[in-house]
Structure 1
Amino acid sequence: GPPDAFDPASRPDFRLQYPYFPAVPKPILGAINGACAGLGMVMALYTDIRFASDAAVFTTAFSRRGLIAEHGISWLLPRIVGMANAADLLYSARRVDAAEALRIGLVNRVFPAASFRDEVTAYARMLASEVSPRSLAVMKRELWNSPFQSLSEAIVDANADMALSLKSEDFKEGVAHFLEKRPARFTGR
């Protein structure tokens, strides 16, 4: 079975060899600071948020090696960059620089290579210290489950999740730290 780090309620789809990042209840940030190709591209696509340095270069590579879109990226890539961009990236296996990757939505932000590590670390620290880990875990599950649901199913699940959130320690802390104008001390419960 999955390691303890996995959400026990995660979909079986996310318990396979490469697409397991969605089953990890913490956000997984992709930090791409160089070449991102083939299996590296697959791994990057399964991260929740992707940051690139201005030195990053992306390629699917498969078609130029006589291979196919592996590990489910023919399902995932169009959801990230749209069908036509996914077809372009997969069919041509051309190289895409960080600016184009940002323009088509392959990455969320691009930072100068010189400050890349500091920028990504600052974002990770912000998530770790300023937001509820419980909220992050629930929202991550909701986001990754939504492609498999109808709108009404997503709403029913979100309503149930919200009812539990309103009873959580993190909700009480979220209100308290806001009213008391102090840093949050979330527990994840």
Structure 2
Amino acid sequence: MVLTDIPLADLSVRGHGPVVTVQVSRPDVLNAFRAQTRAEFASVLDAVRTDDHVRVVVLTGAGRAFSAGQDLRELGGRLQNEEASDDQLRQGIEELQDLTRALLALPQVTIAALNGVAVGLGAELALACDLRVAAESAAIGFPEARRAMFQTNGVMWLLPRIVGLSRANDLVLTGRLVQAAEAGRIGLVQGVCPDADLASTVEALAADIAANAPGSLRLAKHLLRDTWGLDLAQVMTRETEGMLACLRSRDLREGTLAFLDGRTPHYEGR
């Protein structure tokens, strides 16, 4: 599947080459995800995954929100369907979880550009990204307990590893909204910038990352995630295998020659 061949109504995709920006474009409902949004997002991630030209994927929203989560109007209709079986409900939950699984499995580096509020599913997808940068007016929260709901997209695994268990307890058990400045202080986001500078800040960060060797980025991304389930000996074994893969690559030769020549390397991902 090719990105340009995907019919999109709820999303827009910008950029060709090393950096692609995926924007949720439902500003009238604060970029809430309906079934169509989820399906389009899944198709875009599937196309990106196999595109060797893409090195960084930026996720953002249109208007004043990153994403307000699930479309409550659509969700309310499902909840009123008393005939839905547990299997049907479970399928709907797992389809949402598949978005997080797809983000985590992407070989490309992912950046959430938080242009506004991110709650519920929006906050969960931001957690699944490798990096998060927030505009000063942005806020992020996990308000499920306030709505008699529960987190569904790996929050209980991801959030404590990002901000620590004590802060994760605070955010999940209170359900409070965290403003960008506090999110930066606790490490929930890696950077905060003026609203007007968000696009240029993320663009510079994405370009900086995309200039690195794709093979090294892929190896680093996945091993950094996997270390939580491995001991030191296992990590060092994986590091050895990663180093061997780099030593066999054409990109290592290019990087070395570029350094010696005093020029910018041109990596091919091979």
- TM-score normalised by structure 2 residue count: 0.64
C-alpha displacement of 1:141: 1.3
**1-structure distance, mates of 2:258, 2:193:** 31
List gaps (5 residues or longer) in structure 1. 7-15
Of 246, 251, 261, the match for 1:180: 261
**2-structure distance, mates of 1:28, 1:90:** 24
Residue 68 (1) aligns with residue 150 (2): yes
Residue 149 (1) aligns with residue 230 (2): yes
Output one character per residue of 1:143-174: Cα deviation in whole Å (capped at 9) or x when no partner: 12111211111110111110121111111111
C-alpha displacement of 1:106: 0.3
**2-structure distance, mates of 1:95, 1:71:** 18
Q: Is the 8 A contact 1:80 1:105 kept in 2?
A: yes
Q: Secondary structure at the match of 2:132?
A: strand
Q: Is the 8 A contact 1:22 1:140 kept in 2?
A: no
1:6-155 aligned at under 5 Å gives the runs 17-19=98-100, 20-128=102-210, 130-155=211-236
**2-structure distance, mates of 1:179, 1:26:** 28
Aligned residues with identical type, % of pairs: 35
**1-structure distance, mates of 2:184, 2:106:** 25
Q: Secondary structure at the match of 1:90?
A: helix
C-alpha displacement of 1:3: 4.2
Larger RCO (CA within 8 A; separation ≥ 6): 1
- TM-score normalised by structure 1 residue count: 0.90
Corresponding letter in the other structure for 2:260 = L
**Aligned positions, number:** 178
Q: Which structure's CA Rg is the greater one?
A: 2
Measured on the aligned residues, the alpha-carbon RMSD in Å equals 1.4
Output one character per residue of 1:63-97: Cα deviation in whole Å (capped at 9) or x when no partner: 11001222221111000000010011001111111
**1-structure distance, mates of 2:173, 2:180:** 19
